[in-house]
Structures are given as structure tokens and as C-alpha cells.
Chains A and B, each alone.
Chain A
Amino acid sequence: MLTIENLRASVEGKEILNGISLEVQAGEVHAVMGPNGSGKSTLANVLAGRDEYEVTGGTVRFKGQDLLDLEPEIRAREGLFLAFQYPVEIPGVSNVHMLKAALNTLRKHRGEEELDAVSFLRLVKEKAALVGMKQEFLYRSVNQGFSGGEKKRNEILQMSLFEPSLSVLDETDSGLDIDALKIVAEGVNSLRSPDRAMLVVTHYQRLLEYIVPDYVHVLAHGRIIRSGGKELAHELEDRGYGWIEQHARTA
């Protein structure tokens, strides 16, 4: 599904990713953890194609294509979804309008028929109920005046609506209360399937109790310093990042 090789990226001349390699197979869930400022969001944004970040080396293949060669919207249409750490507000644009425009663009790209207003509304209401989002949020401007948790739910609503093949969740659990956390986890788990994959960025072991990852990676200073199974997350929770970084240095 996704093969990252020795990826390097910088922003405003400052190198942030220092050679990341990662292989994600269809059906797998990978967790990415790491201290603040280690480059997790940068990785997510580089994958999604944000041009603020300059790729200075390495390759990324996504479903057999050179991902770095594609425009952000093409990556999205090919099935790459990013749940943003800080979803942006778009005043004046109603949520439901944006969701419909986006879903129909994706469907068109997949060769599926576009949904008319009625069937779209039925679908989006169903999905909204699934992520515990009140219908009024559909008619409000995109993310405008949403609380932190509501914004995150809106991201998950989009994910379940678009059914992407690769979902990158950037700290979707941060700022969520425990009920919302479970709902987000359910949303993610319901999408789990042999032909989909997830890259879940989080600071907390707690989320990984609900979304059990196949692999856990620790990012520090722009590179993966340790990879392991789900028990690595437990270890981190107990001992912090310090011990791995020490290990990495002495190793």
C-alpha cells in the first residue's frame, strides 16, 4: 500500500525529516508516536502533499504510484485521507455542501455514479449518527465555531464517508473526551479491512487500547528510532521517550 524510503523533508530551509523508511501493507494499522516537534505532523503533511514542505530526498510509493509526483487532490482521490491535527475553519461554506462536493469528486474519480442530494443526505446523516455528531453541525460552516472535539469528530465523519484506502490520523484523539475517543476508535475500526490501511499518530497509549495497532513506530528528530509491536506503546507509556533515545544514541 505505502512504501516510504529514506524520506527527507525540510521547511524554510530547516531539515525536519531526516530519512524515514516505513512499509505499510494493506490491512495493517501502524501507530506513530514520538515527542512534540519530532516530525509526526510533518510526515503526515508531506504524505498529503502540502507544498510548504520541501521534499529533499527519498521516495514514496502509494498503491504502485510515485506519490510525491501527484497533486494533493489526486492523492486524495486515489484514496489517501488525512485527518488534520488542527482542522481549518472555512466561513460561509456549509459543511454538508463541502462534504457532498468532495464525496462526489471522489466517486467520479472511482468511476462511481455521483450521489444526488437526497441519497447524499441520507448517507451523511447515517454517518453523522455513527460518529455521534448532531445534524445541526452538517449545516454549519465547515468547522466554524466547532469545539476541538467537534472538529475531530468532523474529520472522522469525513473519513467514514470517503472510505479511503489509507487513512492518516494526526492526533485525532487529542482533546477528545473518553466517549468521543471510543466513537473515533469505533469509526476507525469499522473501516478496518484487508484492503485498507491506517497510519495513526498519537501521544497516548489509551487510543491504542481501542485501535489495536499491528506496529508501533517511534519518531524522534525526524527519523524512526524504534519500531515494534503494540507492546512498544505500553513500554513508552511507562518509561517515556528518554530511554529509547538513549538507546538509539548508544546503539
Chain B
Amino acid sequence: MNEQIHADKELASLAQREYKEGFVTDIDADTLPPGLDEDVIRTISRKKEEPEFLLEWRLDAYRRWLDMEEPGWPHLHYPKIDFQQISYFSAPKQKKLLDSLDEVDPKLLETYEKLGIPLDEQKALAGVKVAVDAVFDSVSVVTTFKETLAEAGVIFCPLSEAVKEHPDLVQKYLGSVVPAGDNYYAALNSAVFSEGSFVYVPKGVRCPMELSTYFRINAMNTGQFERTLIVADEDSYVSYLEGCTAPMRDENQLHAAVVELVAMKGAEIKYSTVQNWYPGDEEGKGGIYNFVTKRGICKGGGSKISWTQVETGSAITWKYPSVVLEGDNSIGEFYSVALTGNYQQADTGTKMVHIGKNATSTIISKGISAGHGQNSYRGLVKVLKGADNARNYSQCDSLLMGDKCGAHTFPYMEVKNPSAVVEHEATTSKISEDQLFYCRQRGLSEEDAVSMIVNGFCKEVFKELPMEFAVEAQKLLGISLEGAVG
């Protein structure tokens, strides 16, 4: 009754808030006509001046993809994607990599400014060093902080550059975690991926800054096929931030990225995402389709990989960041907040595959559904035969706002080793009228009250985010961070 009305009003301020990043940058793009065949793949590879092995790898992936079926999911509904209507390559006209921000197309900088992430200010960010490898559509435009990283021996560059400069590393690790034929979208990505980032942290090196890449989807009807590869050699550490926003569009846009992480013995990789792609309008029109394959492998003993994600965008999200715990005593973590409002649908979760002994995995998933949003958690905890003393703790909490939305939890477990301890907890709650009234009686606006409660609900995940990202995440949920109290 009343609760309903209130929750709906909240939705208006939270999930239906106007999409601030909805504008289109007008930069001439060198775009391939829509369509996909082997010639298109050859063209992409030639345009990017790739070595032969990569072209062969792409073609192999493409042939696998042709034989695969697009997966159907019970809780995701969307019109069938016509892959021949998509253009598979789009690059800003400026081609060569630039040395400084001065050389960047001012329109592009303006775009970032509107997003509140001006590149030039990032440099000066007090005390915080952030290396930005800005991916604009499909081609890297600018790379900063290269020198500091080079001093430490860290390689952080566009994948296409890595292909040329470090072909041995790329050949060794590309597809080693997510093979070309892994799944429908990963195969497509392997065939046509056009840009992405590459990180290599050498033995014993602690990466001196957090690495961040901003992706934007800009050219009309251009599918995005980013590919990121991060390799942390023995006893190294790296924290990588991925932030995404996209301009407003009428047509749904496909995004099928692949992220591969490799952690060698004693290494740690922290991968954080705040994702704010255009979710579609109140009627569910427009918005980004986001089908991503993210997987990390803890290859060596005592290695650690943690995924932290805050997802508020996309019309459709299909994404399961996973960790393969191959090394003994390795650690896998997954912290996630997914907000679905309007007609957004999210099917996310994680897979933790225990192979080594004494490995530990933790899953904390917070789903918030408002409006007609549908939020599904799908998690798989797999313990193989030799994985002695595997430990998993999973917690899936859902928060509902209104009664037209839904939350679904599908925890799957496959345990083949009797020494495993696998725990799963799940809760579903609603923001109650009593809670809202209590806060309002204390002088807080309804919007602030909702923000505060939602923020409290997500706290366990937010505290895993690097500080600046936590702030962005809270903003995304309509929350202003009031000092350091709390």
C-alpha cells in the first residue's frame, strides 16, 4: 500500500534519475560497414598491423563461434541480436599514440569533463596517482604515467601495442584463461576484439599506482569488443580499476568484453569495476547489452584474485567474474552490487573453481531491484576431487523496492571432495515505510534516507573498493559521502 507508493517514488529519484552521461561526442570515426565474415576479421587484423599468429587465432575463434548457439537464459528477455547489423571496427581518425594531453582532440577531453573525470585533472589529483589508459571506442588515444610504470618495470599499454612490443607475452597468455571457444560471446570477442588493455607486473613488484581505464561506447551501432589481459608475475601486486559510462542511444548496443587475469605464485590482483552504462529509458527502450566474460586464474600457490563490481547500468547484464583456484592456499573473492531499475535485467554472479588444496573463496553479492528491474544471482562453487580443505562462504542479499521488481538467487554447488566446507546464506529484504519515516522524522529527505539505507546495505562491498571508486559508486547510487564518519 503506502510502502508501495513510497518505494515507487524512490525509484523516481534513484533508478529513474536522468542519465547524466547521455550525450554524443561528434568525432569523425573510421568505421567499417556493418557485417561479419572472415574478410572483416582479416581487415581488422590488417588495420591493426597484427602478427600472423593473432590473425590465425581470430579466424579460429570465428569458426568456432559460427558453430555455437547463442545461449538462452530463463531470466533474461531481449530481442534477438542481428550480428550482421553491427559494425566491428570504429576508430577515431587520429591514429598515432600521443605523448601528452595537449595533443588530444579537445572534443574528447570535453567528453570526459562532462563525465566529471577530466583527464588533465586526474594527473594533479592530490596524493593519488592514477594511470589512465583511455580507451575511446576501439582505439587507445592517450596513455599517461607510462614513465613511472616503466621505472617499476610494469607494462601497462593498449593490447594492440602489446601485440607489437611484447608479442611473446601476449602469445603466451592471451586465451590462456578464457580460451577462444569458451562461450558464445567470448568466441565472438576473440574473433573481432579491437582494443583493450594489457598489464604485466614483473616478479616481486608492487605496482606503484592504481591502474585505470575508462571505456566509452560512442560510435552508433558499434559493438564493443574489448579485451583485457592482466598478468601478475610471482609475488607481485596490482590494483586495476575499470570505469564505464556511455552516451545515450536509441538502439540497443552490444558489448561483449573479455577480461583475463593471471596471478602467479604469491601474486595478488585486485580488479574493480564501476559500471554505469546507459540502462535504457523508463519504458525499457535503448540501453546497452552487456555480455562479458571475466575470469582469473590463481595459478601459483598463495596467489589471490578479487573481483569487486558495482553495476548500475546496461539494459541487460550477463556477467560472472570467476576465479579458478589452481594454486594451493590461493584465495578468490567476489564482491558485487547490482542495481536494476526501470526495465533493466541483470543475470550476474560468479564461479569459484577449487582445484588446489586449502584454497578459500568468498562471495558477497548484493542485489537491489527497483521498478520493473529483474536481478538474478547465479553462482557456482565447484570443488574438484583433489581440492582438499576447500572453503567457501557465499552471501547473497537482495533488497527490493516496490513490488513489480524481482530478485532470484541460483546458488549451484558441485563438491567432489568431502573435506570441503561450503556455506551459503541468502536474505531478501525491503526498505520499509517505518525505516523511511524514522529517517525523515530526523530531518533527512526521503531521497537521502533511501540512499543511506541502500548504502548501508552495500557497505560490505563498497569497503572493498579503492577510495575514489567507492565515492563514485556511492554517487551512482544517489549517495553523497558525508565525511569519513560511519
| Chain A residues near B (Cβ < 8 Å) | 48-52, 71-73, 75-77, 81-82, 84, 87-88, 90-94, 96-98, 100-102, 104-106, 109, 116-117, 120-121, 141, 158, 162
A91 surroundings in chain B (CB, below 8 A): 429, 456-457
CB distance from B298 to the nearest CB of A (A): 30
- Complex-state Cα separation, A50 to B439, whole angstroms: 12
Q: Flag if B456 contacts A92 (CB, 8 Å).
A: yes
B443 surroundings in chain A (CB, below 8 A): 73, 76-77, 102, 105-106, 109, 162
B434 surroundings in chain A (CB, below 8 A): 88
Among candidates B441, B444, B459, residue contacting A92 with C-beta atoms closer than 8 Å: B459
- Complex-state Cα separation, A158 to B441, whole angstroms: 11
Q: Flag if B456 contacts A51 (CB, 8 Å).
A: no
CB distance from A250 to the nearest CB of B (A): 40
Q: Is the interface of A mostly helix, strand, loop or mixed?
A: helix
B459 surroundings in chain A (CB, below 8 A): 92
B448 surroundings in chain A (CB, below 8 A): 101, 105
CB distance from A10 to the nearest CB of B (A): 14
Q: Flag if A120 contacts B444 (CB, 8 Å).
A: no
CB-CB under 8 A for A84 and B442, given A90-B456, A117-B484: no
* 18 examples of A-B residue contacts, CB within 8 angstroms: A73-B443, A76-B442, A77-B443, A84-B438, A88-B435, A90-B456, A91-B429, A92-B453, A92-B456, A92-B457, A94-B456, A96-B486, A97-B452, A100-B483, A101-B452, A109-B443, A117-B483, A120-B483
- Residue from the set A73, A96, A97, A104 with the largest chain B CB neighbour count within 10 Å: A73
B445 at the interface (CB under 8 A from A): yes
B440 at the interface (CB under 8 A from A): yes
B429 surroundings in chain A (CB, below 8 A): 91
Q: Flag if A102 contacts B442 (CB, 8 Å).
A: yes
Among candidates A73, A87, A88, A141, residue contacting B444 with C-beta atoms closer than 8 Å: A73
The 8 closest A-B pairs by CB, nearest first: A92-B456, A97-B486, A93-B456, A102-B442, A76-B443, A72-B440, A117-B483, A88-B434
Chain B, range 299-354, C-beta contacts under 8 Å to A: none
Q: Flag if A97 contacts B442 (CB, 8 Å).
A: no
A52 surroundings in chain B (CB, below 8 A): 2, 433
A121 surroundings in chain B (CB, below 8 A): 485
A101 surroundings in chain B (CB, below 8 A): 444, 448, 452, 482
Chain B, range 456-486, C-beta contacts under 8 Å to A: 456-459, 482-486
Look across to chain B and name the residue whose beta carbon is closest to the beta carbon of A106: B443
Among candidates A50, A92, A109, residue contacting B437 with C-beta atoms closer than 8 Å: A50
Chain B, range 410-459, C-beta contacts under 8 Å to A: 429, 432-435, 437-446, 448, 452-453, 455-459
- Complex-state Cα separation, A81 to B453, whole angstroms: 21
A81 surroundings in chain B (CB, below 8 A): 441
Q: Flag if A76 contacts B456 (CB, 8 Å).
A: no
Q: Flag if B486 contacts A158 (CB, 8 Å).
A: no
Q: Flag if A90 contacts B438 (CB, 8 Å).
A: yes
Q: Flag if A76 contacts B441 (CB, 8 Å).
A: yes
B484 surroundings in chain A (CB, below 8 A): 117
CB distance from A77 to the nearest CB of B (A): 5
- Complex-state Cα separation, A76 to B453, whole angstroms: 19
- Complex-state Cα separation, A106 to B459, whole angstroms: 25
CB distance from B473 to the nearest CB of A (A): 15
CB distance from A66 to the nearest CB of B (A): 18
A97 surroundings in chain B (CB, below 8 A): 452, 482, 485-486
B442 surroundings in chain A (CB, below 8 A): 76, 98, 102, 105, 158, 162
Among candidates A48, A84, A90, A104, residue contacting B453 with C-beta atoms closer than 8 Å: A90
- Complex-state Cα separation, A102 to B439, whole angstroms: 8
CB-CB under 8 A for A82 and B441, given A94-B486, A96-B486, A121-B485: yes
